[in-house]
Amino acid sequence: MDNVRVIEVKRSIFESNDRDADKLRQELRDSGTFLLNLMSSPGSGKTTTLKRTIEALKDKYRIGVMEADIDSDVDAKAIAETGVKAIQLHTGGMCHLDADMTRQGVRELGIDDVDFAILENVGNLVCPAEFDTGSTKNAMILSVPEGHDKPLKYPLMFSICDVVLINKIDVIPYFDFDMDKCREYILMRNPKARIIPICAKTGEGIDEWAKWLSEQIEEARK
């Protein structure tokens, strides 16, 4: 598709990713751009959630999406269909994005051309948690079929996320998923985490999520 640009991102040349991430965060702040780093396991519904999010906010803000994938273009094509700017970041087998790779994406989107930039990180609960991308905020999706015990098994991911979306709540009746336990385990890892149950398929909970995002985007524009 013509409206999907594919970028083969290069490994960072910076010694310290953390320092570089802080630098990117400052650049974003200077240009009034809010960057969300969205993480999850494979198949938890990142792309469907993103499509709902775009639908809710695209008339209010200029949105740009970076789709990080090892080597497919499946998601960027789906996002481009929503009408917002979407670019594909190919990590060349890498399991995460670092700040410099993210910067290459932000540059392609045009830092002054978007109010709300979204990085859909590689589907992985381990490595993306270890690399600060320079995003303004981190969010993750945990889907009901994955189980409520995941905060016990992937502690770092839950501890670095400002928001945890609990997706696929429509299938709760068919799984042994304990929402109270899930909340308890998430807050154990991160007492400040905002937890929002959603169903990206039906749109349930998207209002609350869009409201939180709007507040962050407005904050970034101040």
Residue owning tokens 């409206």:
3
Determine which helix (DSSP H) or strand (DSSP E) holds 192, and give its type and residue range.
Answer: none
CB of 41 to a second copy, least distance (A): 5
Nearer to a second copy, 37 or 41 (CB): 41
What's the CA dihedral at 139, 185, 193, 201 to 10 degrees?
Answer: 40
Interacting residues toward a second copy by CB under 8 A? 41-44, 69-72, 74-75, 93, 95, 122-127, 130, 143-147, 149-150, 152-156, 168, 170-171, 174-175
Nearer to a second copy, 34 or 131 (CB): 131
Q: Are 41 and 157 in contact (CB under 8 A)?
A: no
Going from the C-alpha of 217 to that of each of 54, 138, 175, the distances in angstroms are 13, 13, 35
Q: What are 58's two structure tokens?
A: 């695209």
CB of 42 to a second copy, least distance (A): 5
CB of 222 to a second copy, least distance (A): 36
Nearer to a second copy, 144 or 198 (CB): 144
CB of 70 to a second copy, least distance (A): 7
Among the listed residues 51, 110, 109, the one whose alpha carbon sits nearest the alpha carbon of residue 83: 51
Nearer to a second copy, 156 or 210 (CB): 156
